[in-house]
Structure 1
């Protein structure tokens, strides 16, 4: 070796336990054939501290070499503290994908070691996030949440964007909402709508969210209820609290429509939020036979007396 900073060490002499090793361990099986055939082409990165060799990047290469009984080529670099080590680790692994679970771990690591004001500037570029972007604002806000929400984000049960509402709530209300996300995976739109409707109702009625979700409609999902149906039920209950008048109009509308369109594939929906008194009717078909059946159904339902009642829904609200 011509580089004086590169040496050969036994894998057992390399400490691979540093907290700055933020990427999860990679499988070593894919490296073994290459190591057998060509040897180690790229040294791992490490620092020397107090007589120990601390790994910065290349954990999979060390593990593969250990399985093969080979020594490891190590290049020594300078990194004075955990933050510097983590930055170098992330730079060396910049080509690896970074999902939200990984980004969360990175954010928590740096948030525990630097001021929040420096977090966006120092960490965002390492994760491919723009320092002044909305996503970075979400990450900064997430650092203020309780750790129990971290697990929900890692599992994909709650979207990162939900923090925009969660951060406005007090600790007690946030703790009470955890149960809605523990066993259910929420889409971004459903989660944000659900939380926003509860938050806005809480402010309007001067009630805590704990009080609002004590209603029977917010009881946890039973064994016979599918996750999708449970999310739909929770969203519907929150929307009815936030928009009681609109929700009542929708119930009246749906009852009339169920009678008008019974036995057909036609759907009738209000235009807007009942402000115009207009409705839209639609269906789908993929053959002439289905089209002819739909047209016959339309002719029949056009004679239904309930249309007059439907047009009046919301007129005097």
Structure 2
């Protein structure tokens, strides 16, 4: 028996422009071999509204059929409003990868149409999250940020977790921070640490973040500076603002260690934050020859007089 809800339409008769189509269009070319050999096995989903055939799911099939000059099998379903259409679209595409761009587009779409209380319970299951999860809290906070940050998130320049700090700042301070993420991609830990150190320093010093980052050390990366080095410089500068005493201890430690270990592959690191006076020394080797060289170097550096100063670092802080 034929299905009265399924019909055949020309691709030109199907409107594929609905804002509820939140997933990006998949490459139509991947479907062309299958359509040529087997025809269309699964109908696309659409809603008939005001004389138009509004697509709910199946853009790639429509696009592939158009390239081949084929009609499209369409199954009609019911959806009372744009929100319902978006829910059906996401459910039909449930097997597809949901990346940050899809999550962002979905959250913006529903946030503009639902009350805040309804947003988590409606959207979270569609995106594979729990309504009360930490990620859902991040997304809800992200909805309060300026559009510039949407673009940075979509480009992968700033992690979602950064919103935990950004949401605590005022609009002026957030605007002043955009430049750090426009051309650089930050890891979660670097971004969160950088923003946290600036926020905590601003609270302690009773200064705005905008004022804190106005110094030359936070100047934009030059042509000769790699993105990795620029991020490292910004993080170091923010950490020194937040922990000035610890930063001075680290500088002194690094100076002494550079003298102790000069010409060797041994590394000396403090245990904790210098409060114990302990250090850890380590190296690597992959042959007996390298091991014997390392042991000779260790015997030599053990005689260095700078060890006593190294052990005393931080004991009086």
What's the TM-score bracket when you normalise by the shorter of the two chains? Answer: over 0.9
2:228 aligned residue: 228
Aligned-partner Cα distance in 1 for 2:310–2:33: 72
Shift in Å at residue 34 of structure 1?
1.5
C-alpha distance in 1 between matches for 2:282 and 2:35: 63
1:117 aligns with 117
C-alpha offsets along residues 55-106 of structure 1, whole Å, 9 cap, x if unaligned?
1111111111111111111111100100000000011111110111111111
SS in 2 for 1:48: strand
Structure 1 segment 143-222 matched on structure 2, within 5 A: 143-222=143-222
Q: Partners in 2 of 1:265 and 1:220 — Cα distance? A: 33
Match for residue 308 of structure 2?
308
SS in 2 for 1:220: coil
Matches of 2:68 and 2:201 in 1, distance apart?
63
User: Following the alignment from structure 2 to structure 1, what is the Cα–Cα distance between the partners of residues 57 and 183?
Assistant: 36
**Count of residues in correspondence between the two structures:** 317
The residue number in structure 1 matching 2:106 is 106
Moved over 2 A (4+): none
| Corresponding residue number in structure 2 for 1:267 | 267
TM-score, normalising length: structure 2: 0.99
TM-superposed deviation, 1:288: 0.5
Query: Match of 2:184, SS?
Result: coil
User: Within 1, Cα distance between the matches of 2:106 and 2:170?
Assistant: 25
Distance, in Å, in 1 between the alignment partners of 2:304 and 2:66 is 79
**Shift, 1:179, TM fit:** 0.4
CA shift digits 1:100-145 (9 cap, x unpaired): 1111111111111111211110001001011111000000000000
Distance 1:284 1:34 in 2: 54
Name structure 2 gaps, 5 residues minimum.
none
Aligned to 1:45: 45
Say if 2:88 is the partner of 1:88: yes
Superimposed CA distance per residue, residues 218-261 of structure 1 (whole angstroms, 9 cap, x where no aligned partner) = 01100000000000000000000000000011111111111111
Give the drift of 1:165.
Answer: 0.4
For 1:273 and 1:82, the matched residues in 2 are separated by 55
Match of 2:131 in 1: 131
CA distance in 1, matches of 2:46, 2:95: 19
Distance in 2, Cα, partners of 1:308 & 1:59: 71
Displacement after TM superposition at 1:217 (Å): 0.9
| 1:78 equivalent in structure 2 | 78
Q: Is 2:285 the counterpart of 1:285?
A: yes
Measure, in 1, the Cα distance between the counterparts of 2:171 and 2:235.
22
- Residues in 2 aligned to 1:176 and 1:290: alpha-carbon distance in whole angstroms: 50
Deviation at 1:31, TM superposition (A): 1.2
Paired with 2:269 and 2:37, the residues of 1 have a C-alpha distance of 67
Instruction: Quote how far apart the aligned CAs of 1:311 are.
Output: 1.1
Partner of 1:243: 243
1:17 is matched with which residue?
A: 17
What is the root-mean-square deviation in Å for CA atoms of aligned residues?
Answer: 0.8
* SS, match of residue 29 in structure 1: helix
| Partner Cα distance (2:252, 2:7) in 1 | 79
Structure 1, unaligned runs of 5 or more: none
Q: Which whole-Å CA distance do the structure 2 matches of 1:131 and 1:86 have between them?
A: 18
- 1:8 equivalenced with 2:8 (yes/no): yes
TM-score, normalised via structure 1 length: 0.99
Matches of 1:186 and 1:149 in 2, distance apart?
A: 13
